[in-house]
Amino acid sequence: MADLTSDFVGIKSPNPFWLASAPPTDKEYNVRRAFGAGWGGVVWKTLGLDPHVVNVNGPRYGAIYGADRRLLGLNNIELITDRPLQTNLDEIKVVKRDYPDRAMIVSLMVPCEEEPWKFILPQVEETGADGVELNFGCPHGMSERGMGSAVGQVPEYIEMVTRWVKANTRMPVIVKLTPNITDIRKPAEAAMKGGADAVSLINTINSITSVDLDLFAPEPTIDGKGAHGGYCGPAVKPIALNMVAEIARDPSLGQIPISGIGGITTWRDAAEFMALGAGNVQVCTAAMTYGFKIVQEMISGLSDYMDSKGLTSVDQIVGRAVPNVTDWQHLNLNYVAKAKIDQDLCISCGRCFAACEDTSHQAIAMSADRTFTVIDEECVACNLCVNVCPVEDCITMEAMAPGLVDPRTGKVVEPDYANWTTHPNNPASKAAE
Amino acid sequence: MSSDAFTPGIVPARLEAEAYADHFSDLHPRLDAHEALVAADRCYFCHDAPCITACPTDIDIPLFIRQIATGTPDAAAKTILSQNIMGGMCARVCPTEQLCEEACVRELAEGKPVLIGQLQRYATDHLQEQGVHPFSRAAATGKTVAVVGAGPAGLSCAHRLAMLGHDVVVYDARPKAGGLNEYGIATYKTVEGFAQAEVDWLLQIGGIRIEFGKALGREETLESLRAGHDAVFLGMGLGGVNALEAEGSDKEGVLDAVDFIADLRQADDLAQVPVGRDVVVIGGGMTAIDAAVQARLLGALNVTLVYRRGRDRMNASVFEQDLATSKGVRIVTHAVPRAVIGNGAVREIEFDYVDEAMAPTGQALRLAADQVFRAIGQSLVGEGLPALEGRKIKVDDAGRTSLQGVWAGGDCAAGGDDLTVTAVAEGRDAAMDIHKALTGAAA
């Protein structure tokens, strides 16, 4: 069993798996169950000023599904806590007292003025909480009132509020970013300038999950109407991974610590976020889908992975894939691969053929007895056949060794790296020196 | 006097009254909506799917399963029924494990094919139970076609012809339509009067008249049908039962399995169908299995199915063989009946064991038997028929016989397996060719 102990901006937890600020961390009962199941920390559901907000009394969630109703994406229109501030503070205090080894972060959202922050921060400190997370991400409801993503979409506001918070508390400050912007690096930079100890991302994405075709209303539908909600779950993971990587690989952001969020469902998802620069991860939809017990698979999976790689600390995973994230123009154009179909694994469904023949490069041949083979003369190694094949590892992309002739182009595979910046077809290419 | 499993002789009511409904209930209860979605999600939507190739009626299986998965089972049913108008019955009786489901790539991948047959039933039941008939007739052509036999081949042919605008008269020797669907299939495969419901649904197309009690060579002749109609389709199946070549096979209690199965299907009260205590079924096809299993379900104490070759040569599928053994039928292979023994009525039956080359091994088997069912195949009967190939009517790929204006399909025609689905395909294809011949049009 590898040591999974995590230290994120000075906040210690027995593992890097936190529950994100969301319905699962709304109150003492849930959080006690989460800690009982083994979660390393929680970000308590966002507190605001009294009088507390109210939620709709109809459906709060909408979903999209994969095969067998596997929940792939979840949308919500729930607001921040709808309980009195003091109730939450009292519960935070007793839970932290009973679980001193777990991370207790408190998410906050108050109006965009300094006084409310001066008012609420000392009360949070008094609970013994380990840190605060500023909710600049919530995209529905609160944003209509000038909070949440309404702040997160204006870098100047992020910087200003972060500075107020840092000036009024000794606790570490994590700024939670909204993905509903064009360039995630701008709000991250603003948080850094304001003195944030870390950023966390992504919050949910503006979304309508489906439309009721009888009512002609978006779902979830409240009395015939629907409003956009925040999208999360496995479907958003690729978007979140990219945004995490964009921040992690930007030298001007000074390697600001990142708490990774967005569709993390398994240990592998968590490890991927960490490899792209997240110091720890936060989970919500997976717990809402399967219950708190899933953390046990995350713990065992990450531990087994670290043991198999000879890693002794989670920090050794963090950022290891960042140097390999680059821009398209720097990809090696001399690298040539070809698809290869393992005939022993092939079940002859023909999906690779349909995909390639109809939508790609006509590079797969089909025989009368349903044997599918790659035509190297046509294959551009696009990978679509790999992606649509229902059998794992049946189709693989095999690199051609330098010196061989690519049957598609008739050219020898060059051993040297060469990219678009020096390619003769690039009008802006610079001649190799 | 009440009887039970131990009562000797051929007697009714061996079981408690309530046991019959249980024993003869639906073999595969239909999938509910949730089960259908789960099953449909497993389909890979293969390119040029092998299941389609394996289906004698070429149903676009991946398309209809996708239609189920997207919540449109009635569209799925139309996909099925446009290729196979008896898709409902075929979903119940097709040996799918030897056809579409054997070809399913998930059979290769996991040994567990997509449940194609059960999904087909889900879709067709969904449509047919609403009483919806999704096909309509083309403008009348003024042509009439005689169809002999209201079984799967004849009704399939008749429906397609009616849809194309022809008027059809179907002649059937029996008092009900359906052929083997009505008279020749085990009760638990088509419960609750499905065969007749399907016929009624099929006839909603209009333009089809059925003349019951009219058999070829009895009330009608081929000459008169040819004279009175623009074309004739022969789909009367196999009316004769092959004889048992064993000494004493004329003894009382030696019966045809097809009659036993028909009596069961037509019985208002299964408790009134008599069955032996020690039943022996001779044969290795679906009829033999259906008779043996149902004899057990009626309460026979011992049921033995005896086949002259090995299990791998049996026409009954492995699924059917396993069904029989699971119901307590003993299967004996490599044994040929030599003599039926008894004083008037059968008491025992003696077999010679044979090797793979059918040569006697010198060993014998003697089984107690108060009821023996012959299920060693059926044969074509009739005179003045078109030219034969072997013991069946010779047809070309379009179902044309040696006689001008006469087509044939189903079990009475040479070529193809003797399956409901094959009969449906042959009837449909012959109809298309008849249409072409009568109108000069490609449909």
Strand order in the sheet with B208-212: B208-212, B167-172, B144-148, B231-234, B406-408
* Cβ distance of A370 and B44 shorter than 8 Å: no
A366 contact residues in B (CB cutoff 8 A): 47-48
Nearest residue to B118 via CA among B181, B188, B33 = B33
* Cβ distance of A68 and B41 shorter than 8 Å: yes
Least CB–CB distance from A351: residue in B37, B47, B109:
B47
Distance CA A418, CA A431 (A): 12
pLDDT value of residue A146: 85
* Rounded mean pLDDT, A43-53: 96
pLDDT value of residue A10: 98
B65 contact residues in A (CB cutoff 8 A): none
Joined together, the tokens standing for residue A230 give 């925040």
Beta strand extents in A164-251 (DSSP E only): 173-176, 198-201, 205-207, 210-212, 217-219, 229-232
Write out the DSSP string of A241-292.
HHHHHHHHT-GGGTT--EEEESS--SHHHHHHHHHTTEEEEEE-HHHHHH-T
Residue A340 has pLDDT above 80, yes or no: yes
Taking the CA of residue A355 and the nearest CA in chain B, the distance in Å comes to 9
What is the 3-state composition of chain A as percent helix, strand, coil, each rounded to the nearest 5? 35, 20, 45
pLDDT in tens, A95-128: 999 999 999 999 999 999 999 999 999 999 999 9
Give whole-number Cα distances, B366 to A47, B257, B347, B350, in Å: 88, 21, 10, 4
Least CB–CB distance from B109: residue in A67, A68, A391:
A391
Taking the CA of residue A351 and the nearest CA in chain B, the distance in Å comes to 6
Residue A194 has pLDDT above 60, yes or no: yes
pLDDT value of residue B442: 59
Least CB–CB distance from B44: residue in A349, A353, A370:
A349
Q: Is the dihedral of CA A130, A134, A137, A141 positive or negative?
A: positive
Side-chain half-sphere of B338: how many Cα atoms within 13 Å?
14
Which one is catalytic: A112, A138, A232, A385?
A: A138
Cα Rg of chain B (Å, integer): 22
Residue A248 has pLDDT above 90, yes or no: yes
pLDDT in tens, A328-337: 999 999 999 9
Q: To probe the interface with B, which of A342, A370, A391 has the most B CB atoms within 10 Å? A: A370
Distance CA A29, CA B251 (A): 82
Residue A148 has pLDDT above 90, yes or no: no
pLDDT mean across residues, chain A = 96
pLDDT in tens, B93-127: 999 999 999 999 999 999 999 999 999 999 999 99
B44 contact residues in A (CB cutoff 8 A): 349, 351, 390
* Cβ distance of A366 and B48 shorter than 8 Å: yes
**What does the CA dihedral A13, A15, A17, A19 come to, rounded to 10 degrees?**
-40
Minimal-distance CA residue of chain B relative to A392: B109
Q: Could you give the 3-state DSSP secondary structure of residue A238? A: helix
- Residues sharing a CB contact under 8 Å with residue B274, sequence separation 6 or more, in sequence order: B10, B11, B12
* Structural contact between residues A139 and A149, judged by C-beta atoms closer than 8 angstroms: yes
Distance CA A73, CA A78 (A): 16
pLDDT value of residue B51: 98
Q: Could you give the 3-state DSSP secondary structure of residue A181? A: coil
Taking the CA of residue A70 and the nearest CA in chain B, the distance in Å comes to 11
Give whole-number Cα distances, B411 to A278, B172, B374, B394, in Å: 70, 15, 19, 12
pLDDT value of residue A140: 82
Write out the DSSP string of B312-355.
GG-SS-HHHHHHHHHTT-EEE-SEEEEEEE-SSB--EEEEEEE-
* Cβ distance of A351 and B45 shorter than 8 Å: yes
* Structural contact between residues A41 and A14, judged by C-beta atoms closer than 8 angstroms: no
A390 contact residues in B (CB cutoff 8 A): 44, 109
B443 — contact with chain A (CB < 8 Å)? Answer: no
What is the 3-state composition of chain B as percent helix, strand, coil, each rounded to the nearest 5? 40, 20, 45
Nearest residue to B86 via CA among B182, B6, B176, B4 = B182
Joined together, the tokens standing for residue B343 give 């004083």
Mean pLDDT, consecutive 10-residue stretches, chain B (443 aa), reads 86 92 89 96 96 97 96 97 98 94 96 97 97 96 98 98 98 96 92 94 98 93 96 95 90 95 94 96 95 96 97 93 97 96 95 95 96 94 92 96 97 92 98 96 60
Residue A408 has pLDDT above 80, yes or no: yes
pTM (predicted TM-score): 0.89
* Structural contact between residues A65 and A71, judged by C-beta atoms closer than 8 angstroms: yes
Joined together, the tokens standing for residue A198 give 């870390």
pLDDT value of residue A165: 98
* Cβ distance of B50 and A351 shorter than 8 Å: no
pLDDT value of residue A216: 97
Taking the CA of residue B332 and the nearest CA in chain A, the distance in Å comes to 37
B37 — contact with chain A (CB < 8 Å)? Answer: yes
B109 — contact with chain A (CB < 8 Å)? Answer: yes
Taking the CA of residue B89 and the nearest CA in chain A, the distance in Å comes to 28
Query: B208 - beta bridge partners?
Result: B168
Pairing of strands A258-261, A198-201: parallel
Distance CA B173, CA B212 (A): 6
ipTM above 0.95, yes or no: no
* Rounded mean pLDDT, A363-377: 97
* Structural contact between residues B311 and B317, judged by C-beta atoms closer than 8 angstroms: no
Minimal-distance CA residue of chain B relative to A355: B47
**What does the CA dihedral A228, A230, A233, A237 come to, rounded to 10 degrees?**
110
pLDDT in tens, A125-137: 999 999 999 999 8
* Structural contact between residues B384 and B391, judged by C-beta atoms closer than 8 angstroms: no
Structure-token match 């001193």, residue found: A100
A356 is catalytic: no
pLDDT value of residue A431: 60
pLDDT in tens, B226-267: 999 999 999 999 999 888 889 999 999 999 999 999 999 999
**What does the CA dihedral B372, B373, B376, B382 come to, rounded to 10 degrees?**
120
Least CB–CB distance from B47: residue in A67, A68, A354:
A354
Distance CA A364, CA A353 (A): 6
B44 — contact with chain A (CB < 8 Å)? Answer: yes
pLDDT in tens, A263-313: 999 999 999 999 999 999 999 999 999 999 999 999 999 999 999 999 999
pLDDT value of residue A234: 98
